[in-house]
Amino acid sequence: MIAENIERVRASLPAGVRLVAVSKIKPVEDIMEAYNAGQRLFGENYATELRDKAAVLPKDIQWHFIGHLQAKQIKYYIDFVSMIHGVDSVEHLEDIDRAAAKAGRVVDVLLQFHIAREETKFGFSIDEVGALDGSRLAALQHVRVCGVMGMATNTSDTEQVRSEFRELKHIFDTLRSGLFAGRPEFCELSMGMSHDYHLAVAEGSTLVRLGTTIFGARDYSKRK
């Protein structure tokens, strides 16, 4: 079933849009089924779970950390993570930079913006787009900012969701032509989950984060 789900999703995605299979709480057997179907990008939300899975799964998996960032937990995945989504402050960028320096790596990250009408979401505010400190960003030697990410409001109002995705696309375009102009690595727009990814793709997403669509519903009681 997992392999069939991946094939169906891939067939629905236009060229240039990549699937991040969100495997949080799912067993390694499920991840291996997706891997054997050709999937290589996986997203995890919990630092120690990511560490433990990476230790036993194939080394060519590209792990994306997509959970809420906590500075004290960066050490669990900094040695191998492919990309960190959800960087919601310059201070966290600096935390990652220090950890990556110790690991001898340059780590790709995405800036998270708060576009939803929900206080439970994290991210830079819209007003902070123009206030990002270019000198502080330029001082980061072990972090590569590759784009932005965000989560729309969990609502059945598709016009609201579209509006929020368009807002994030505008932020992306503003940064790409301004603060990150001339930096070809700034090319990723991560938005869209299982319930709204079709809308996100229509509005310009380059990375969609799908869990339930690929692996089915989660049983959170199984989380260690």
Q: What is the CATH number of the domain that holds 110?
A: 3.20.20.10
Q: Are 190 and 148 in contact (CB under 8 A)?
A: yes
The answer to whether position 222 is within a domain reads no
Residue 218: its pLDDT value, please? 79
Q: Record the tokens describing residue 114, joined without a space.
A: 């708060």
Three-state secondary structure readout of 122-179 = CCECHHHCCCCCHHHHHCCCCEEEEEEECCCCCCCCHHHHHHHHHHHHHHHHHHHHCC
The answer to whether position 192 is within a domain reads yes
Please state the pTM of the whole predicted model. 0.93
Range of the domain at 125: 2-217
The answer to whether position 147 is within a domain reads yes
Count of domains forming the chain: 1
Length of the chain: 224
- State pLDDT tens for residues 169-207: 999 999 999 989 999 999 999 999 999 999 999 999 999
The answer to whether position 52 is within a domain reads yes
- State pLDDT tens for residues 119-164: 656 788 777 776 677 788 888 999 999 999 999 998 999 999 999 9
